[in-house]
Structure 1
Amino acid sequence: MRVYLRLLLAGIRTQSAYPLAMLAGLVANTAFGLLKTGILFAVVDSGGGTVAGYTLGTMSAYVWLSQGMLGSVNMWGGSEIATRIKTGDIAIDFMRPVDVQAAAVVTEVGRGLFALLPRGLPSLVIGALVVGMSLPTTPVQYLLGVASLLIGITVSHATAYLVTTMGFWLTETRGITVLYMALSGLFAGLFTPIWLFPEWLQVLAQATPFPSTMMYPVDVLSGRTTGLDALVLLGVQLCWLAVVWIGGHALTRAGRQKLEVQGG
């Protein structure tokens, strides 16, 4: 466990080496947050002040919490391990006395956790000051929200790892990555809450791990989902974490048996 803790800290230190990139990310978060606020506030107003259970305050919380998570949740599907698979450097990783999957995911989670400080929290503060929002008032809800957030970040990177293992069999994985980006952004609730979707599309979204990466943590953190319902969402997140982790483990073992060095 000490090895993986060090890998987590290494991920944090790696991300901290790019302060200007973090600042640029914060500027982008703020710009798109204001744009989303204007659009979604118009949707709420058109519904007479509430739509799908969202008021202006809770919709604002959704916007700024989701924007704040952008630097921590993997929505683009790529990772360092994808490059190592393509170049063949993954063969060296297999020789190390650590689990390749766990090491890769833990390192990426460390990077995501650091991004919460220069991008996540400032985005939330800017939203609260400029627009205002409704947030929970009980400590228990915040504890549940933090737990959901941590699980969501882990699920996102574990899912991205699962996708990158396709590189063991494919020479080029950019097509899969683009597809991942399109589906993850839509079904995670990045563009709009999935609860505004038609019922059939909500069902389809919830049949994927993507809502567990962003939508569910936002619902719990914002106080839209409380009590037993919040615990249910955490349970769903943990189930998806187990599914994608087991899938990634299985594909890693299979890929190790059929490793084909690409280039390098």
Structure 2
Amino acid sequence: MYATLFVLGLRRWSAYRTAALGAAFTNCVFGLIRSAVMIAVVDTAGGALAGYDVATTATYVWLGQALVGPVQLFTWTELAQRIRSGDIAVDLARPVDPMLAYLAADLGRAAYSLLPRCVPPLLMGALITGLTLPHTAGPYVLGALSVAVASALSFACRWLVNLSAFWLLDLRGPMTLYLVLSGVLCGLVVPVRWFPHWLAVVAACTPFPSLLQAPIDVLTGKGGFATVLTQALWLVALLGLGWGVFALGARKLVVQGG
């Protein structure tokens, strides 16, 4: 059943091919801007900063731009809208766990995004700045697992934010706060390794570095099995929390209408 939901999620998003290409173009443009700025920062720092030289910094930027789509670092309010409209009652009536059903469909979305959203930024990076990547298969195999876990973890985070709709009428506040915190602490703005010590400690106490910094580290050989294990532990914890909060919200839910 969940495999079917995965395929349906993939088919759903494959219907928007032009939108995917447009998003990939946007990622490429922002990749050019970010790589220029961050390479300038490294040059100003003397050619190396916190273990990153010009080549590894450019690689970090382009891998980040490639993973923005599959990991889905931005807004998602489908669940909150169904809670507000009362359509969530249909989900509760189905003989399937709602959270796992939505997770399977979201992983289908992530799988579809790999080709149209990942390949263009990586090709652009290879042509413009060059990419510094491992020459063995190990980091790529482990990196694929890391990206999959990061995608599921991103869903778990967004699921929790959407659950606030059980108690709040407007989701814009929690969603904006989540986007700001996750965008900074996941390493999208700058690598987490560039953070001052106090901010790095704060980031380490959150799941956000596991969304982007971790898979990039694994794909570039800077991280290994321990990195993926940390991601998996965060995933289990947040899915468990999401299941509990959903059950709590469903107990107080009142849906009116015919």
Q: Is TM more than 0.5 here? A: yes
Q: Does 1:222 align with 2:216?
A: no
2:109 is matched with: 111
1:98 is matched with: 96
In the alignment, the residues of structure 1 paired with residue 30 and residue 199 of structure 2 have an alpha-carbon distance, to the nearest angstrom, of 24
1:236 is matched with: 230
Q: Does 1:198 align with 2:202?
A: no
1:246 is matched with: 240
Q: Which amino acid aligns with 2:218?
A: V
In the alignment, the residues of structure 1 paired with residue 172 and residue 68 of structure 2 have an alpha-carbon distance, to the nearest angstrom, of 21
Q: Does 1:43 align with 2:37?
A: no
2:12 is matched with: 14
Q: How far apart are 1:65 and its partner, in Å?
A: 0.7
Match of 2:107, SS state, is helix
Aligned equivalent of 2:185, options 170, 177, 187 = 187
Q: CA contact under 8 A between 1:158 and 1:248: conserved in structure 2?
A: yes
5+ residue gaps, structure 2: none
In the alignment, the residues of structure 1 paired with residue 161 and residue 255 of structure 2 have an alpha-carbon distance, to the nearest angstrom, of 18
1:153 is matched with: 151
In the alignment, the residues of structure 1 paired with residue 172 and residue 17 of structure 2 have an alpha-carbon distance, to the nearest angstrom, of 28
Q: CA contact under 8 A between 2:25 and 2:120: conserved in structure 1?
A: no
In the alignment, the residues of structure 1 paired with residue 32 and residue 53 of structure 2 have an alpha-carbon distance, to the nearest angstrom, of 17
Match of 1:70, SS state, is helix
Distance 1:173 1:261, change over 3 A: farther
Match of 1:160, SS state, is helix
1:256 is matched with: 250
Q: Which amino acid aligns with 2:3?
A: L
Q: How far apart are 1:72 and its partner, in Å?
A: 1.5
In the alignment, the residues of structure 2 paired with residue 77 and residue 55 of structure 1 have an alpha-carbon distance, to the nearest angstrom, of 32
In the alignment, the residues of structure 2 paired with residue 247 and residue 31 of structure 1 have an alpha-carbon distance, to the nearest angstrom, of 37
1:54 is matched with: 52
Distance 1:93 1:127, change over 3 A: same
Q: How far apart are 1:206 and its partner, in Å?
A: 1.3
Q: Which amino acid aligns with 1:169?
A: W
Q: Which amino acid aligns with 2:82?
A: R
Query: What RMSD, in angstroms, separates the aligned Cα atoms of the two structures?
Result: 1.5
Aligned residues: 258
Q: CA contact under 8 A between 1:94 and 1:100: conserved in structure 2?
A: yes
In the alignment, the residues of structure 1 paired with residue 162 and residue 237 of structure 2 have an alpha-carbon distance, to the nearest angstrom, of 16
Q: How far apart are 1:262 and its partner, in Å?
A: 8.4
Q: Which amino acid aligns with 1:249?
A: W
Q: Which amino acid aligns with 1:159?
A: C
Q: How far apart are 1:77 and its partner, in Å?
A: 3.8
Q: Which amino acid aligns with 2:235?
A: L
Could you list the per-position Cα deviations for residues 88-134 of structure 1 after superposition, in whole angstroms to 9, with x for gaps in the alignment? 11111111010000011221121122111101122112111111010
In the alignment, the residues of structure 2 paired with residue 250 and residue 238 of structure 1 have an alpha-carbon distance, to the nearest angstrom, of 18
Q: What percent identity do the matched residue pairs reach?
A: 41
TM-score, structure 1 as length reference? 0.94
Q: CA contact under 8 A between 2:71 and 2:147: conserved in structure 1?
A: no
2:175 is matched with: 177
In the alignment, the residues of structure 2 paired with residue 93 and residue 206 of structure 1 have an alpha-carbon distance, to the nearest angstrom, of 35
5+ residue gaps, structure 1: none
Q: How far apart are 1:263 and its partner, in Å?
A: 9.2
Q: Which amino acid aligns with 1:139?
A: A
